[in-house]
Amino acid sequence: MEFLFYLGDVFTPINFGLLLLGTVGGLILGATPGLSPTMAVALLIPFTFKLEPQQGLILLGAAYTSTVAGGAVSAILLKIPGAPANIATTLDGHTMATKGEGAKALQLSFLASAVGGLFGVFLLIFLTPVLAGWALAFGPSHLFWLAILGVTVIGTLDSSSVVKGLLSGCIGLWLATIGFDDIMGAQRFIFHPSVSGGINVIPALIGLFAIPQVITMFTKGRSSEDAEVISVERHPIRLAFIEVFRRKTALAIGTLTGSIIGLIPGVGGQIAGLVAYDQSKKFSRESEKFGTGHSEGVIAAESANNAMVGPSLVPLLTLSIPGSPTAAVLLGGLLIHGIFPGPDLFMNYPQVAWTFINSMLIGQILMCVLGLYIAGLAASVARVPHAVMAATVLGLAVFGSYSVQNSMGDVYVMATLGIAMYFLERFGFSAAPLVLGLILGPIAEANFIQGSMIANATVGTGAYFFTGWLNWLLILIVLASVSYSVWMEITARRYTTKDDAVAKEEALS
Amino acid sequence: MTDLPRTQHIAASGLIAAIGISIAYISFTQEPADAFIFPRLIASVFAVLAVWTFVKAVLGRTKVGNGISGVALRRMLPGLGVAIVYIYWAAKALGFYTATGAAFFVLLSLYDPAPHSDIKSWLKRILITAGFMAVMYGLFAQLLNVFTPREIFF
């Protein structure tokens, strides 16, 4: 119950003001199609430089939580999911809105998000110290395998092609080796002065997540989507409360599915929402109503995609292994403040860690209350033309990258990686494993070198890295995730035509 | 999948394979060797996977990635061109704020669906650009105190 000791820190004027700012900003950014939670958090990092570590994290955490929920606004009122996590919400939410139940759908989505989100954060609160305690026993070989596991699991589960996912992870791991090697005092792969100090994570994250979106907006040309915002009639919130808790099966399935999926690195909110929707449909007594504007569809999808937010941070805070791209961006936010997450985070920086987690708890309630009031405004922002969005994101990306170290080199790195990532994505590569490789590369290398030194002085490299139950467990998880993904890819290929695959990819992009 | 994406896949995966092999070559030939132990490990896997992807592309067995259509390329190129000039030249040569304002306005003019013949749409673009620049200046120059290259202009 240590978290209760630091709960009051969330309510200091600055911290609470930042929480409010992050929540409102996140709800509006989340409703904007094309601005994913990861990209929103990456663009916000430069604004945290002048803040205290816990203040910066409160802002980023609030933005993360509320962008996921805010995406439901455009999914319901415009039929455009604000983020991939809200795809399942569109299925019933928009149909409800077209039937004149837009306000009810929004209320249900925010209430279900809050319930799922609160459960997820409580899971984070109670699981993190336990896992952190276990993680203290980890040696260099275990941390090396954990880093490899992080890249492999995301590379295989997050990508539509296992080979391309793993290749993206390798590109990220290689990018992490660029620069000056502190241990051996050697320069590695320095082909341009901009990368002589290595690749800074923050500009790289901004480039990898923001620039492909900017270019995607360019490809839409001068078209205007003219998405019609469905007007919202008044609906008593009391009835929405009753409805959410009356549909307890959907709520429970969504919350549990989202929490479990959140703990698995790389799976993400999109899968959480879709799996919860599918499972709720199977267990519902009114399964035939799904897709026709049924409240259970909205409740299951939204409780799931917000329930995964808290658990997705467990591996980050305990093992310093980000479990999702957004967690990787949050890791970047921690690193710029000189805080390295891991098992000793709660001993060295308990105030930072617990204030951050508590702020996510309070943020869920704020997000629910504020979301109901600013849904209309958020939907209007969602109609901002692509041209304005593309130019704004480009400007923010350039200024944000420059402000990290006041270096044009960082801006060049940001742009080069971003442009390259756009083209890589068009050929089936994914940004998530690349980012994980870039972030986990130094962890993997440092522990590999340290482990090799210990091994050379003791049992030898092979025995050190390939013996012991924990090493074997981690290796088995790596192999299992690769095998599972290969099997899924083969079976999906057996039942899917090329045209289906192309259509599905177009729909998701 | 049409022939165009197949050709594109071959070109893209060929480039990645070339990079992978180059990295592997550098890793195994550069000194001091101890500094390249980890990169060798990564580069070996990188090169194998990249060559595998290239061979699959040559055989036409690539299943994911739709490539880039001619329409998307034509629409994207003007914006990408402006972005490249802005980032790699104008931001440093002209000054951050001038270059950002100019790039923002040009991009808005290129992609705004409002008709170019309408004077009101130009006024709207000028106002949006001015508003954006005011926010950027307020945030970065005043709030965050980020020193940006001013060069020949502001």
Residues B52 and B95 in one domain: no
* Bigger pLDDT: B104 vs A90: B104
Over range A419-434, report the average pLDDT: 89
Please tell me which residue of chain A has the smallest CA distance to B19: A171
**Quick check: A403 contacting B, CB < 8 Å?**
yes
Q: Where are the domains of chain A?
A: 2-508
Q: Is the pLDDT of residue A290 over 70?
A: yes
Residues of B in contact with A214 (CB under 8 A): 79, 83
Q: Which of B28, B111, B129 to mutate to test the interface with A (most CBs of A within 10 A)?
A: B111
Q: Is the pLDDT of residue A507 over 70?
A: no
The Cα A292–Cα A94 span in angstroms is 9
Q: What is the pLDDT of residue A268?
A: 61
Percentage of residues in chain A having pLDDT higher than 70: 90
Q: What is the pLDDT of residue A459?
A: 78
Q: What is the pLDDT of residue B85?
A: 95
**Quick check: B48 contacting A, CB < 8 Å?**
no
The Cα A443–Cα A461 span in angstroms is 18
Decide if B107 and A391 are in contact by the 8 Å CB cutoff: yes
**Quick check: A449 contacting B, CB < 8 Å?**
yes
Decide if A214 and B83 are in contact by the 8 Å CB cutoff: yes
Q: What is the pLDDT of residue A501?
A: 52
**Quick check: B145 contacting A, CB < 8 Å?**
yes
> Quick check: A355 and A58 in contact, CB under 8 A?
yes
Decide if B35 and A181 are in contact by the 8 Å CB cutoff: yes
Over range A498-504, report the average pLDDT: 52
**Quick check: B62 contacting A, CB < 8 Å?**
yes
The Cα A64–Cα A70 span in angstroms is 10
Neighbours of A286 (CB within 10 A): 12
Which tens digits make up the pLDDT trace of A52-99?
A: 888 888 898 888 888 877 888 878 887 777 777 788 888 888 888 888
Q: What's the gap in Å between the CA of B130 and the closest CA on chain A?
A: 12
Q: What is the pLDDT of residue A509?
A: 45
Torsion of CA A83, A85, A86, A92, to 10 degrees: 160
Over range B102-115, report the average pLDDT: 90
Q: Is the pLDDT of residue A442 over 70?
A: yes
* Bigger pLDDT: B72 vs A481: B72
Decide if B88 and A415 are in contact by the 8 Å CB cutoff: yes
Decide if A395 and B32 are in contact by the 8 Å CB cutoff: no
Percentage of residues in chain A having pLDDT higher than 90: 9
Which tens digits make up the pLDDT trace of A333-343?
A: 887 777 777 77
Residues B10 and B36 in one domain: yes
> Quick check: A321 and A150 in contact, CB under 8 A?
yes
pLDDT, chain A, mean: 82
Q: What is the pLDDT of residue A46?
A: 81
**Quick check: A21 contacting B, CB < 8 Å?**
no
Query: A305 falls in which pLDDT band (50, 70, 90)?
Result: confident
Q: What is the pLDDT of residue B102?
A: 94
**Quick check: B86 contacting A, CB < 8 Å?**
yes
The Cα A453–Cα B6 span in angstroms is 46
The Cα B84–Cα B89 span in angstroms is 8
pTM, whole model, 2 decimals? Answer: 0.82
Over range A288-299, report the average pLDDT: 86
Q: Which of B9, B103, B144 sits opposite A403 (nearest CB)?
A: B144
How would you classify the pairing of strands A186-188 and A179-181?
A: antiparallel
The Cα B66–Cα A403 span in angstroms is 36
Query: B1 falls in which pLDDT band (50, 70, 90)?
Result: very low
Which tens digits make up the pLDDT trace of A154-213?
A: 777 666 788 888 899 999 999 999 988 877 778 888 888 888 888 988 889 889 888 998
A:113-172 residues touching chain B, CB 8 A cutoff: 159-161, 163-164, 166-167, 170-171
Q: What is the pLDDT of residue A237?
A: 77
Residue A453 sits at the vertex; the CA angle it makes with A451 and A456, to the nearest 5 degrees, is 105
Q: Above 0.90 for ipTM, yes or no?
A: yes
Please tell me which residue of chain A has the smallest CA distance to B108: A387
Q: Which of B16, B65, B140 sits opposite A403 (nearest CB)?
A: B140
Which tens digits make up the pLDDT trace of A91-131?
A: 888 888 888 888 888 888 989 989 999 999 998 888 887 87
Domain count within chain B: 2
Q: How many CB pairs under 8 A join A and B?
A: 192
Q: What is the pLDDT of residue B24?
A: 93
Continuous segment of H or E residues that includes residue A78: none
Most confident of A225-239, A280-294, A317-331, B49-63: B49-63
A:450-479 residues touching chain B, CB 8 A cutoff: 452
Q: What is the pLDDT of residue B15?
A: 94
Please tell me which residue of chain B has the smallest CA distance to A166: B49
Residues B75 and B138 in one domain: yes
Residues B76 and B125 in one domain: yes
> Quick check: A175 and A155 in contact, CB under 8 A?
no
Query: A492 falls in which pLDDT band (50, 70, 90)?
Result: low
Residues B54 and B75 in one domain: no
Residues B45 and B80 in one domain: no
Q: Which of A390, A411, A502 sits opposite B107 (nearest CB)?
A: A390
Q: Which stretches within A220-349 are classed as H helix?
A: 237-246, 248-263, 268-283, 295-307, 314-319, 325-335, 345-348
Domain carrying residue B23: 3-58
Which tens digits make up the pLDDT trace of B13-22?
A: 999 999 999 9
Residues B17 and B75 in one domain: no
Q: What is the pLDDT of residue A270?
A: 67
> Quick check: A255 and A303 in contact, CB under 8 A?
yes
Query: B107 falls in which pLDDT band (50, 70, 90)?
Result: very high
Decide if B103 and A388 are in contact by the 8 Å CB cutoff: no
B78 within a domain of the structure (yes/no):
yes
Rounded to 10 deg, the angle between the A248-263 and A268-283 helix axes is 150
Q: Is the pLDDT of residue A347 over 90?
A: no
Q: Which of B41, B75, B132 sits opposite A395 (nearest CB)?
A: B132
Q: Is the pLDDT of residue A441 over 80?
A: yes
Tokens 């999914």 locate to A75
B105 within a domain of the structure (yes/no):
yes
